[in-house]
Amino acid sequence: MGQVTVFSGAQRRRRWSDAEKTDLVARAFAPNAIVSQVARLADVHPGQLYRWRAELGSEMSGGSDTGFARVVVSDDETHVDEGIAIRVRLGSAQVEIAGHASCALVTATLMALVG
């Protein structure tokens, strides 16, 4: 016969402070981290980490609601204007998109550039 474990009493429900949530989200979404491994170690469901990331997102990104990370990919040493979040060159066309641009505007601009 197998073993049976009976839990009695109040259902287990943990309360996580904002600092604990922020720490777990930072570890889960760090470069080369695996969300499911971090979740398993913390004894939470991976989906909970994604929910916390969405809830804490604007706080963790410094209040920026754009959803974009500042990335510069370039072969040369050209200076990038601080107001520009994305610079795309496709053939002779070049587009510079500000960090405060809406997702809809960025999508429309890139779709028009690609054709």
| Cβ atoms < 10 Å from Cβ of 90 | 11
Higher per-residue confidence, 92 vs 51: 51
Alpha-carbon distances of 56 from 35, 49, 76, rounded to whole Å: 16, 10, 36
Q: How do the domains of the chain map onto residue ranges?
A: 18-60, 66-115
Q: What does DSSP assign to residue 6?
A: -
**Which of 15-19, 64-68, 73-77 is least confident?**
64-68
Average pLDDT, rounded, for the chain? 77
At 6-20, the pLDDT tens digits run: 766 666 678 899 999
Residue 80: is its pLDDT beyond 80? Answer: no
Residue 65: is its pLDDT beyond 50? Answer: no
Helix 18-28 / helix 35-42 crossing angle, nearest 10 deg: 140
Q: Which amino acid is at 10?
A: A
Query: According to the model, what pLDDT value does residue 11 have?
Result: 62
| Cβ atoms < 10 Å from Cβ of 25 | 23
pTM score, whole prediction: 0.45
- Report the alpha-carbon distance of residue 63 to residue 33 in Å, rounded: 24
94: β partners: 89
